[in-house]
Chains A and B, each alone.
Chain A
Amino acid sequence: MRILKNMIFSSDAKDLGGNVPGGAFSSAGSSAGAGTGAAGTGTSAAGAGTGAGNKPAGGYVPGSDGHAYRKKKDPHTRRNSLLTIIAAAFVICLMAFYQKNAYDHSYAISIIERSAVYVVAAAAMNLVTGFTGLFSLGAAGFMAIGAYTTAVLTIPTEVRANVYYMNGIAPWLENLHMPVAAAMILGGLISAGFAALIGIPVLRLKSDYLAIATLGFSEIIRTILAAPMMDTVTNGSYGLNNIPGFTNIFQPLIIAAICVAAIMLLLHSSYGRAFKAVRDDEVAAEAMGINLFRTKELSFVISSFFMGIAGGMLACFMRSIDTRTFQITMTYNVLLIVVLGGIGSITGSIIGAFLINGGQEWLRFLDEPLTVGGVTIPLFRPGFRMVIYSILLMVVVLFWRRGIMGDKEFSWNHLLGMFHRKKKTEGGAES
């Protein structure tokens, strides 16, 4: 209220608006032209005197804390938070179970860990592609920077001689060691630094041109990492191994959760809204005082930071990396997750990451020979899985043209609403 008081001279403006819901321009319709102006200034003195401490009659919905605007109250808030807690508890129990029987479930654990890595990468790509409208294909490059930083700094010093047995190790690196978490963050920061640098020329490009420029950048990074001059640091084409891995399934999941939460919070802040404004209409965004370049650069740099973290996670997950890991296919995989989950939906990216990583494995039975009633079906042989997988992807993209979640975030109301609708169409009287 204070702000509007500063801007506005007469306090009657708000009441007028509030009192004419859905009416035409909310001014007092009876008094026309200059008369309104006079009336406005006439009451302004009274308004300033009496209304200074009072709330305006209309204008906004006062929140429970007295002065804040709140969105319309959702009647299901309690139910939804209960459902969220139950779901989270279920997931934690399931993970604890896997962790406890890690030996029997190592396969499931590795799928979940890989998914967690891709969740971070996809959420980061979605930030820049889905929310800021910049079609960047630099994911693999930024992940490579993060992965190599993490790997180089965390390989235990005692085994480094073995890792670098071909080319030797750079002297300054020999005893440089960091805890995994610190190395991951540093990887993210270096990745963000590169993004800031290349963003300056590249972000002036639009759509396809930006995609190609970032694609080129990603390949340059990969080539530099593989270059013979870098052998004593990156071990060239031999790659790095003996990277300390995750010791339990919760580590990648917690890192992913923190990253996703940070991205979500960012998107809900005024900066997140600025990103979306730039995506929706650059001209209007600029007219609203949003600096296009600075906003794009910010989004690009933050996204690259999380890409770097995802790269670090990938290094820890795979425990051995080389530059071929970060070929363009890596970017496509992340892009696939983003598109499948929904461009502009972080929860969509999470669902997409688990579906894409899990899906390839669930279909593994297609690679095994299948015998029905004594007849061996000829199609079921190694390789058939990928055929079906690709067809499924095409079907998903055809029927959910905007991805599974579109640009909406997951909500219990939607999910349960879907069931309700189904029940109704089945003829159930229950509502």
Chain B
Amino acid sequence: MTDQKGNSVPASSEPAERATSGSGRLQNVLHVENVTMQFGGVVAVNDLTLDIGQGEIVALIGPNGAGKTTAFNVITGVYQPTNGRIQFLGDTIIENHPKGKMKKNYLGDPAVIYPGSMVKTPDRITKLGIARTFQNIRLFKAMSVFENVLIATHMRSKADVFSATFGLNRNEELENRELAMELIGMVGLKDEADSPATSLPYGRQRRLEIARALATRPKLLLLDEPAAGMNPQETEDLADFIIRIKNDFNLTVFVIEHHMDLVMSISDRIYVLNFGKLIAQGTPEEIQKDQVVIDAYLGTGKTN
């Protein structure tokens, strides 16, 4: 198929076809298709295509500035992609094509130009079941540990503002409080529940962020450098923790990380990004041996 300008248009792929694509996984949770994110003249993410299946832990790695966090921001709706389509549980949640000035200045690989344009704000994407943590911790600074987690339950509360104000939603409120408290207990912050979130040490703030993300009851959890600033022992514990919450909450986890020990020990599959382009994908073993990946991280040693 082609559109008026002669660009090829992606055939409307059948959900059934996708469900069995890749390595024959049970169900495709996240499907990112030809996503390009261009800021002015800089292509931060270039023609990224990836799939994440139900129950997988998939890592996205790459040197600094490779566009990993930008990819996360596109998936969670913080940025609107310049071109591409993102599907979650078989439904298209984001789709865009170069518009206006960008039409002329578009520098991404012209694989396909998508017909539709569909924008969702981050809150709606969270509501669909994608939760995330942030690379630079973003806790609510003026609030206690407990309140930070409790906030995340607001989204799924049904009470309107009137009944919430006058306490007519007591049961729901109690359930939310209970859920928040259990999640805090789960990440081992029970004793600090009432202390200000910012009083926690760095590693614990990261854990709190994960608890907060879990309180939105996600199906897919995006972790942006969860081990940043952690010591080796904490990193090891984090690996166990991620696997455990994945199993306990029936989650799918997509993680950006620089700690290779962590990445290699927990991930089922790894995608490698460099200068916005996907340069490799595969199991940890495959990635470790991949010459392109090694070159990207260490340099090629050749002189031009």
Contact = CB atoms under 8 A, between A and B. Distances in A.
A37 B188 contact: no
- By CB atoms of chain B within 10 A, which of A1, A14, A266, A273 has the most? A273
Interface string B226-252: 000000011011111101111111100
B99 interface: no
Contact of A289 (B161, B167, B216, B265): B216
Interface string B177-218: 111111111111011001000000001000100001100110
A32 interface: yes
B233 A24 contact: yes
A281 B138 contact: yes
B56 to A, nearest CB: 13
A4 interface: yes
A374 interface: no
B238 to A, nearest CB: 6
B127 interface: yes
The winner among A27, A68, A280 for most chain B CB atoms within 10 A is A27
Contact of A273 (B154, B187, B243): B154
B304 to A, nearest CB: 41
Contacts of B177: 68-69
Contacts of B166: 265
Nearest to A3: B179
A280 B248 contact: no
Given A1-B178, A71-B194, A290-B154, A33 B240 contact: yes
Interface stretch (B2-10, B85-93, B141-149): B141-149
B81 to A, nearest CB: 17
Interface string B153-168: 1111101010011110
B63 interface: no
A266 to B, nearest CB: 4
Given A24-B233, A277-B140, A286-B123, A36 B179 contact: no
A171 to B, nearest CB: 37
Interface string A377-412: 000000000000000000000000000000100000
A60 B248 contact: no
Given A292-B123, A298-B161, A17 B176 contact: no
Contacts, number: 221
Contacts of B266: 33
A13 interface: yes
A291 interface: yes
Contacts of B143: 273, 276-277, 280
A60 B181 contact: yes
Nearest to B77: A286
Contacts of A284: 134, 138-140
A24 B173 CA distance: 29
Interface in A268-282: 269-271, 273-274, 276-277, 279-281
A273 B134 CA distance: 20
B185 A59 contact: yes
A58 B240 contact: no
A59 B244 contact: no
A25 interface: yes
Contact of B154 (A13, A69, A288): A288
Contacts of A69: 174, 177-178, 180-181
Nearest to A289: B155
A277 B127 CA distance: 17
Contacts of A10: 247-248
A414 B167 CA distance: 27
Contacts of B134: 283-284, 287
Interface in B71-91: 76, 78
B188 A288 contact: no
Contacts of B286: none
Nearest to B192: A22
Given A40-B248, A284-B139, A286-B122, A22 B182 contact: no
Contacts of A22: 188, 191
A290 B148 CA distance: 13
Interface string A1-29: 11110011110011011101111111111
Interface in A21-78: 21-29, 31-34, 36-37, 40-41, 56, 58-61, 67-69, 71-72
Contact of A274 (B131, B154, B175): B154
A227 interface: no
Contact of B237 (A1, A29, A291): A29
A262 interface: yes
B132 interface: yes
B122 A287 contact: yes
B157 A270 contact: yes
B121 interface: yes
A63 B186 CA distance: 19
Contact of A276 (B76, B140, B194, B250): B140
Interface of A: 1-4, 7-10, 13-14, 16-18, 20-29, 31-34, 36-37, 40-41, 56, 58-61, 67-69, 71-72, 262, 265-266, 269-271, 273-274, 276-277, 279-281, 283-292, 298, 302, 344, 407
27 contacts: A1-B178, A2-B175, A3-B175, A17-B187, A24-B237, A25-B241, A32-B236, A33-B265, A40-B244, A59-B185, A59-B190, A60-B181, A68-B174, A69-B177, A69-B178, A269-B159, A270-B153, A270-B157, A273-B147, A280-B140, A284-B138, A284-B140, A286-B123, A287-B132, A287-B138, A288-B123, A288-B152
Interface of B: 76, 78, 121-124, 126-127, 131-132, 134, 138-143, 147, 150-157, 159, 161, 164-167, 173-188, 190-191, 194, 203, 207, 212-213, 216-217, 233-234, 236-241, 243-250, 265-266
Given A60-B190, A283-B134, A286-B121, 12 more contacts: A8-B248, A9-B248, A17-B190, A21-B188, A29-B237, A59-B186, A61-B181, A69-B177, A269-B173, A277-B154, A287-B126, A344-B142
